[in-house]
Amino acid sequence: MNKKYLLPLLVLAAIVTFSSCSGKLNPLAADYVKVEPQPLEAIGGKVPATINATFPAKWFNKNAVVTVTPVLRYQGGEAWGTAYTFQGEKVKGNNQTISQSAGGNVTLKSSFNYKPEMKKSELYLTFDAKIKNKTVQLPDIKIGEGVLATGELANAASANPALGADKFQRIIKEAYNANIMFLIQQAELRSNELKKQEVQDWKDLVKNADEAPNQNVAIEISAYASPDGGVKLNTGLAEKRETATSKYLNSELKKAKVDVPVDARYTAQDWEGFQELVSKSNIQDKDLVLRVLSMYKDPEQREQEIKNISSVFSTLANEILPQLRRSRLTANIEIIGKSDDEIKALVNSNPKTLSVEEILYAATLTSGQAEKEAIYTKASQQYPNDYRPWNNIGLIRFQAGDLAKADELFTKANSVKAHGESNLNLGLIALTKGDKEKAQQLFGSAAGVSELSEALGVLYLQQGDYAKAVSSFGATKSNNAALAQILTKDYSKALQTLNAVPKADATTDYLKAIVAARTNDSNSVVSNLRAAIGKDRSFVKEAASDLEFAKYATNADFAGLLR
């Protein structure tokens, strides 16, 4: 062929060859894609994935539009992530443009709703590609395998629900007062004061308490002088008032045949009583009077400064000071309640004779859950308008795993009276249903309930906030608390917690096996898994799909446990 025709043909062939190569999209190699974390991990009910991909130089056609979508495939289904669309340099659109000559790096973030089947799964990238209007088939590429789901072991049903506690007191202490008033600068007892109803009722109360077989009574006499007239005068005056009152009262007790201890004392100037009365009054300039009391500690200087407040002293003399010239009689009465044996006998034979506090207390005298439930049921029948029996029956149903009945009873308790305990317990029910938002609202209405920190710990676990969960659990010794420590990689502390769980179960042993796996203790992996499976055979299937134990798949002892 003539050389002058050969050169143009070679150039044309080169152009055709280049156009052919650049006119198609080749499969993207998996080496150009990295996913984090690896393996994927379930956190707060989600499986987040961050995918970093590189389109190599010369790969992206200038006229191409490529949509990349992650998909997590598992037995029985698949979950699609967020689709990202990219375009070539000649495409008019609003998607991220990828240079043909230089290529480009892209980040794809997705989150899948977790399902237990995802523990055995594969993560793929799928491609929907077009060059102009022509569809280009690109194969899916596998970029990850499996989901680590240790965080999903959080279990609200194992948390401690809140008890509606009794307020039973074996000894109830009550104080009853009566006042005998005196005229200014006098210590004589007046007959109208001794005969007034307040004093007569007080004497009757003392006699009845002394005669009651379940009551003890002791008497105090406190005699006072008002803080005017000087310390020396008032000291003698208060002492005489105490002497006169003691003589009178001892005589009255002797006539009534009441033998109880009497303690008598006197206070020369009752500045405390004065301050209390002024604080509660509506007198003019009372703040000024109170300020004088705080500024001056010397009683005579206090008295003089108050007298200097001419606008208010007459009111004080007429309304406040007369109330301080008195002897106060106090009857301190102890009411002794029924013994434990009496309460246990009556709750079975005649519960109607017991108060609600006594019945609720009776439930604390037995360790059997069935007996407790029977006692709380009696309380709910006898005192249906008290929320605590309903709540406490629900607590027992909750601990027995009957969550539907527990939900019903906690709701009943809240309908009787909305309260922190039942709100917290309903929050735990919400967590067992996966409703974290409702649980958080209910926990917000449970301030002051002692079990709240543990409940919040479970909530934070389920939300994937593991550090916050550890803080909330504090010193709680539970599977959930240990799980939070495992997820924050505090394996030593987690093992201490697991060894201290009061009612260790199969989950306790399983978590110990996870700690052993993470700390490369193969013997403890096998021994703890054996213990877990011995208590609950469902852990055979759990361990078989758990990536925590992936590196032990070839261990003969481990494999033997799963047969």
Which pLDDT score, from 0 to 100, does residue 6 have?
Answer: 38
The model's pLDDT over 348-375, given as tens digits with 9 standing for 90+, comes to: 999 999 999 999 999 999 999 999 999 9
Integer Cα distance of 11 and 13 in angstroms: 5
The model's pLDDT over 176-186, given as tens digits with 9 standing for 90+, comes to: 999 999 999 89
Q: What percentage of residues in the chain have a pLDDT greater than 90?
A: 82
Of the listed ranges 35-49, 147-161, 262-276, 289-303, the least confidently predicted one is: 289-303
Which pLDDT score, from 0 to 100, does residue 11 have?
Answer: 35
Are both 324 and 284 inside the same structural domain?
Answer: yes
- Locus of tokens 């987040």: 48
Which pLDDT score, from 0 to 100, does residue 281 have?
Answer: 81
475 located within any domain: no
Q: What is the DSSP string of 188-243?
A: PPPHHHHTSHHHHHHHHHHHHHHH-TTEEEEEEEEEE--S-S-HHHHHHHHHHHHH
The model's pLDDT over 211-236, given as tens digits with 9 standing for 90+, comes to: 998 899 999 999 998 888 778 888 99
Are both 236 and 330 inside the same structural domain?
Answer: yes
Residue 493 CA: distances (Å) to CA of 474, 482, 517, 523:
12, 8, 15, 20
Mapping DSSP to helix (H, G, I), strand (E, B) and coil, where does residue 467 land? helix
**For residues 395-421, average pLDDT:** 97
- Sign, CA dihedral 412-413-418-423, equals negative
Are both 185 and 330 inside the same structural domain?
Answer: yes
**For residues 380-405, average pLDDT:** 97
Are both 98 and 202 inside the same structural domain?
Answer: no
pLDDT at 328 over 50: yes
- Cβ contact 469:454 at 8 Å: no
Are both 137 and 175 inside the same structural domain?
Answer: no
The model's pLDDT over 285-308, given as tens digits with 9 standing for 90+, comes to: 777 777 777 777 777 777 777 776
With cut-offs at 50, 70 and 90, classify the pLDDT of residue 24. confident
Integer Cα distance of 449 and 133 in angstroms: 65
Of 304, 336, 368, the position where a domain reaches its end is 336
More confident residue, 301 or 557: 557
Are both 130 and 243 inside the same structural domain?
Answer: no
pLDDT at 4 over 70: no
Are both 219 and 320 inside the same structural domain?
Answer: yes
Which pLDDT score, from 0 to 100, does residue 264 have?
Answer: 95
With cut-offs at 50, 70 and 90, classify the pLDDT of residue 459. very high
498 located within any domain: no
C-alpha closest to that of 390 among 380, 382, 401, 399:
380
464 located within any domain: no
Integer Cα distance of 325 and 285 in angstroms: 23
Residue 511: in which H helix or E strand, if any? helix 506-518
**For residues 237-248, average pLDDT:** 96
CA atoms lying within 13 Å on the CB side of residue 327: 31
User: What's the CATH code of the domain at 29?
Assistant: 2.60.40.10
- Cβ contact 308:292 at 8 Å: no
356 located within any domain: no
395 located within any domain: no
Measure CA 145 to chain center.
Answer: 37
130 located within any domain: yes
Q: What is the DSSP string of 365-413?
A: T---HHHHHHHHHHHHHH-TT-HHHHHHHHHHHHHTT-HHHHHHHHHHH
Integer Cα distance of 368 and 349 in angstroms: 18
More confident residue, 176 or 314: 176
Q: What percentage of residues in the chain have a pLDDT greater than 70?
A: 94
Residue 72: in which H helix or E strand, if any? strand 64-74
pLDDT at 139 over 90: yes
Q: What is the DSSP string of 94-150?
A: SSEE-BTTTBEEEEEEEEEE--GGGGSEEEEEEEEEEETTEEE----EEEEE-EE-G
C-alpha closest to that of 386 among 353, 412, 351:
412
User: What's the CATH code of the domain at 308?
Assistant: 3.30.1330.60
More confident residue, 304 or 478: 478
164 located within any domain: no
Phi, psi (5° rounding) for residue 465?
A: -95, 80
Containing structural domain, residue 73: 24-148
Which pLDDT score, from 0 to 100, does residue 12 have?
Answer: 36
Are both 141 and 251 inside the same structural domain?
Answer: no
* Beta bridge partner(s), residue 265: 222
289 located within any domain: yes
Q: What angle do CA 443, 370, 343 make, to 5 degrees?
A: 95
Whether this prediction's pTM lies above 0.85 is answered by no
Which pLDDT score, from 0 to 100, does residue 20 have?
Answer: 35
End-to-end C-alpha distance for the chain, whole angstroms: 77
Which pLDDT score, from 0 to 100, does residue 310 have?
Answer: 57
Residue 470 CA: distances (Å) to CA of 466, 477, 536:
6, 11, 27
Residue 414 CA: distances (Å) to CA of 152, 373, 384:
30, 19, 12
Which pLDDT score, from 0 to 100, does residue 427 have?
Answer: 98
Are both 182 and 324 inside the same structural domain?
Answer: yes
Phi, psi (5° rounding) for residue 399?
A: -65, -25
Residue 10: DSSP 8-state: H
Are both 299 and 189 inside the same structural domain?
Answer: yes
Cis peptide bond upstream of 37, omega within 30: yes
Q: What angle do CA 466, 446, 454 make, to 5 degrees?
A: 30
Which pLDDT score, from 0 to 100, does residue 255 have?
Answer: 94
The model's pLDDT over 80-120, given as tens digits with 9 standing for 90+, comes to: 999 999 999 999 999 999 999 999 999 999 999 999 999 99
With cut-offs at 50, 70 and 90, classify the pLDDT of residue 8. very low
Of 296, 318, 336, the position where a domain reaches its end is 336
Are both 183 and 323 inside the same structural domain?
Answer: yes
The model's pLDDT over 409-456, given as tens digits with 9 standing for 90+, comes to: 999 999 999 999 999 999 999 999 999 999 999 999 999 999 999 999
Of 307, 336, 365, the position where a domain reaches its end is 336
Are both 175 and 144 inside the same structural domain?
Answer: no
How many domains does the chain fold into? 2
Q: In whole numbers, what is the pLDDT of the chain averaged over residues?
A: 91
* Beta bridge partner(s), residue 122: 73, 145
Q: Please, which residues have CB within 8 angstroms of residue 195's CB and are 6 or more apart in sequence?
A: none
